[in-house]
Amino acid sequence: MNIRAMLLSSMLLLTTSVFAREKSDVIVMKNGDRLTGEIKGLDSGVLQFSIDYIDGTCAIQWSMVAHLESKQLFVVITEDGSVYSGTLQTAAGTAGRPMRIQVAEGTERAETIEQAQIVEVIQTSDRFWQRFNGEVNSGIMYSKGNQSTQYSLSSSAEYPRQRWAAGGAISSSLSSSSGSSVSARNSLSTNGLHLMRWNNWYYTGVANLLQSSEQNIQLQTNLSGGIGRYFKNTNHAKISTFAGLAWQNTRYSQSGGLQETQNVAAAMVGTNVKFFRFKQTSLNLTGVVFPALSQPGRAYFVTNVTYYVKLFGKLNWNTSFYGNWDTQPPAHFSGSDYGTSSGLGLTFGNR
The CATH code of the domain that includes 180 is 2.40.128.130
Question: 195-223 pLDDT, tens per residue?
Answer: 888 878 999 999 999 999 889 999 999 99
Q: Is the pLDDT assigned to residue 18 strictly greater than 60? A: no
My answer on whether 324 and 209 are in the same domain is yes
Gyration radius from the chain CA atoms: 22
Note the pLDDT tens digit of each residue in 301-317.
Answer: 999 999 999 887 778 89
Q: How far apart are CA 288 and CA 242, in angstroms?
A: 9
Residue 191 scores a pLDDT above 80: yes
Q: Give the pLDDT band (50/70/90) at residue 7.
A: very low
Alpha helices for the chain (secondary structure H): 3-14
Q: Do 234 and 287 reside in the same domain of the chain?
A: yes
Q: Does residue 268 carry a pLDDT above 90? A: yes
Query: What is the pLDDT, as a whole number, of residue 147?
Result: 65
The structure's pTM equals: 0.71
The answer to whether 246 and 268 are in contact (CB under 8 A) is: yes
Q: Does residue 9 form part of some domain? A: no
Which of these three, 77, 111, 126, is where a domain ends? 126
Task: Tell me if 317 is assigned to some domain.
Answer: yes
Quick one: 212 and 280 in the same domain? yes
Q: Read off the pLDDT of residues 132-183 as tens digits, 9 standing for 90 and up.
A: 778 888 887 766 666 677 888 889 888 877 678 889 999 998 887 776 677 8
Task: Identify the helix (H) or strand (E) that includes residue 184.
Answer: strand 183-195
Domain boundary among 75, 94, 126: 126
Task: Flag whether 279 is in a domain.
Answer: yes
Q: Is residue 290 a contact partner of residue 328, using CB atoms and an 8 Å limit?
A: no
Q: Which of 194, 218, 207, 186 is nearest to 81 (CA)?
A: 194
Same domain, 41 and 176: no
Domain boundary among 126, 149, 174: 126
Largest CA distance in the chain: 78
Give, in order, the Cα–Cα distances in Å from 40 to each of 18, 207, 335.
12, 30, 44
Report which DSSP code applies to 314. T
Judge whether residue 124 has pLDDT over 60.
Answer: yes
The predicted pLDDT at position 234 comes to: 83
**Is the pLDDT higher at 292 or at 237?**
292
* Domain hosting residue 199, numbered range: 132-348
Residue 38 lies in a domain: yes
Question: Predicted confidence band at 131 (pLDDT cuts at 50, 70, 90)?
Answer: low
pLDDT for the residue numbered 186? 92
The answer to whether residues 32 and 156 belong to one domain is no
The number of distinct structural domains making up the chain is 2
pLDDT value of residue 21: 59
Residue 231 and residue 242: Cα distance in Å, rounded? 11
Residues in contact with 72: Cβ distance below 8 Å, sequence separation at least 6, in sequence order: 21, 25, 38, 39, 87, 88, 123, 125
pLDDT at 255: 65
Residues in the chain: 351
57 or 15, greater pLDDT: 57
- 119 and 215 share a domain? no
More confident residue, 295 or 1: 295
Work out the average pLDDT over 274-301.
90
Q: Is 32 domain-assigned?
A: yes
Decide if 254 contacts 278 (C-beta within 8 A).
no
Mean pLDDT of 21-46: 85
Of the listed ranges 69-73, 82-86, 95-99, the one predicted with least confidence: 95-99
Question: Would residue 1 count as lying in a domain?
Answer: no
For residues 126-135, average pLDDT: 66
Q: How far is CA 114 from CA 63, 75, 99, 101, 107, in A?
A: 11, 15, 6, 6, 21
7, part of any domain: no
Mean of the per-residue pLDDT values for the chain? Answer: 83
Give the model's confidence band at 250: pLDDT under 50 very low, under 70 low, under 90 confident, else very high: very high
- 229 and 322 in a single domain? The answer is yes
d(CA 325, CA 69) in angstroms, rounded, equals 50
Residues 36 and 114 in one domain: yes
Query: 274 near 294, Cβ under 8 Å?
Result: no
CA distance 59 to 39: 11
Check whether residue 216 and residue 330 sit in a common domain: yes
Determine, yes or no, domain membership for 13.
no
In the predicted structure, residue 348 carries a pLDDT above the cut 90: no
| Banded model confidence at residue 243, pLDDT cuts 50, 70, 90 | very high
How crowded is residue 347: how many other Cβ atoms within 10 Å of its Cβ?
20
Q: Are residues 140 and 182 in the same domain?
A: yes
